[in-house]
Copies of this chain bind each other. A is one copy, B any other.
Amino acid sequence: MKIVILGCGRVGALLATMLDREGHTVSIIDQSNSSFQRLPGEFGGNEFVGNGVDEEVLLRAGIKEADAFIAVTNGDNRNIMASQMAREIFKVKKVVCRIYDPIREETYREMGLETICPTVIGAQGLFDAVTDKK
């Protein structure tokens, strides 16, 4: 699969590494060149410096041919906007968007965006660990 990842923070870099190792074609975008240092030396994907809500940058990263787009910058709004562009403008089939704020996450999930909320997942995991429900 051709996969475009927006955001090379800890999660973006680890995800890119995992997908690259599985043989997928990975493009990863980040505003800061130094973020790509999180990727291992053997990373075979392509790195793009730029703003992910800029169409030009998404096009350079190959969004038109992408099978999947994942938005994992540290900004909820940036992730939401980029995901909507990937879905609505570039018709990417699989789009997943990270949203930290549970309220915004619910809203955009109801609007049809595929979302992941680390806040809810984290709190639920800890709740289960403490109350021994896991």
How near does chain B come to A61, taking the closest CB pair, in angstroms?
16
| Given A100-B10, A102-B14, also A70-B116 (CB < 8 A) | no
CB distance from A79 to the nearest CB of B (A): 12
With contacts A22-B131, A118-B118, A121-B121 taken as known, whether A126 is within 8 angstroms of B10 at the C-beta atoms is: no
A98 within 8 A of B: yes
Distance between Cα atoms of A72 and B70 in the complex (Å): 26
A130 touches B (CB below 8 Å):
yes
Would you call A1 an interface residue if the criterion is a C-beta within 8 Å of the partner chain's C-beta atoms?
yes
Interface residues of A in 34-90 (CB under 8 A from B): 68, 70, 72
A101-134: CB near B (< 8 Å → 1, else 0) gives 1100000000000101011111111110111000
